[in-house]
Amino acid sequence: MQLVTVGTGTVAPSATRTAACNWVSHGRLKILLDCGAGALHRLAQFDLPWQQVTHVVLSHFHPDHWGELPMLVYALKYIATPPRSEPLVILGPPGVVRLLRTIAQGYGPWLLDPGFPLGILDVQQGESFPLDADVNLETFRVPHTPESVALGIATPEGRLVYTGDTGFSSDLAHWAKGADLLLAECSLPQSLAMDIHLTPEQAGDLAQEAGARRLVLTHFSPPVETSDPARAAGTRFGGPVTAARDGDRFTIGGTSQC
């Protein structure tokens, strides 16, 4: 399973980081975990085959995590070469179907009927949702917004856990237990800590409590971006820590290509 941290920033404008988006590939599956502003141009910049996206999975409904989704559907409708015929599946916590139906009233009917099969499904928290015969999507409620969930991608080779936006939660650490790679937000410095986001130190605590094999930090606001978040997280977590940049690549087991 291959992970590319396509966008590692927040809603705060940054010259070097776009909003939340992560590319995960395994065999035929090409998955976006969140789809924030700038995702499409970054996918092209990093030479990722965006036209082959099979699934988009949203962690919650703040616009820096899903705002580029209509543009993705629009591009697949009008720009994809050859014309798109394969289905696109959009998954998210309960409410994602209502969200897309509501904004389609403004964007137009193409958003729900783009000329290729489009499936939009609410995934119930705690259920394992098969993406294909070997890969399952897992979700877990986290403290951020009422619908917010962490996302897990489980394959025979290993398990990726993406926190989405979250405050610290021992329940989340228990659910993420033994993750081969924990992709954790750390959007706030310790001086601005709050209950609905992680600091780098709290991300380290989460990884330590979960017994993760590797911690990759993402979702940096400017005060964190200009610090040394990997060092801060490393004071709490004994395993390898990386402060991801847009375009960084990681492999979880095996040698799957992106």
Which residue type, as a one-letter code, is found at position 167?
G
Which residue bears the tokens 């005060």?
223
Q: Give the percent of the chain with pLDDT over 70.
A: 98
SS3 202: helix
Q: How far is CA 173 from the centre of its chain?
A: 17
What's the pLDDT tens digit per position in 29-72? 999 999 999 999 999 999 999 999 999 999 999 999 999 999 99
Domains and CATH numbers, the chain: 2-241 (3.60.15.10)
Task: Name the residue among 219, 239, 227 with its Cα closest to residue 148.
Answer: 219
Please report, to the nearest 10 degrees, the dihedral formed by the alpha carbons of residues 113, 133, 153, 118 taken in order.
0
Could you tell me the CA-to-CA distances from 8 to 44, 63, 170 in Å, in that order? 16, 14, 24
Position 127 scores a pLDDT of 80
> Residue 171: is its pLDDT beyond 90?
yes
pLDDT in tens, 117-157: 999 999 998 889 999 999 999 999 999 999 999 999 999 99
Residue 155: both structure tokens together:
């394959």
- 115: exposed, middle or buried (C-beta count within 10 Å: 0-12, 13-18, 19+)? middle
> According to the model, what pLDDT value does residue 254 have?
62
- The β-bridge relationship of strands 181-185 and 215-218 is parallel
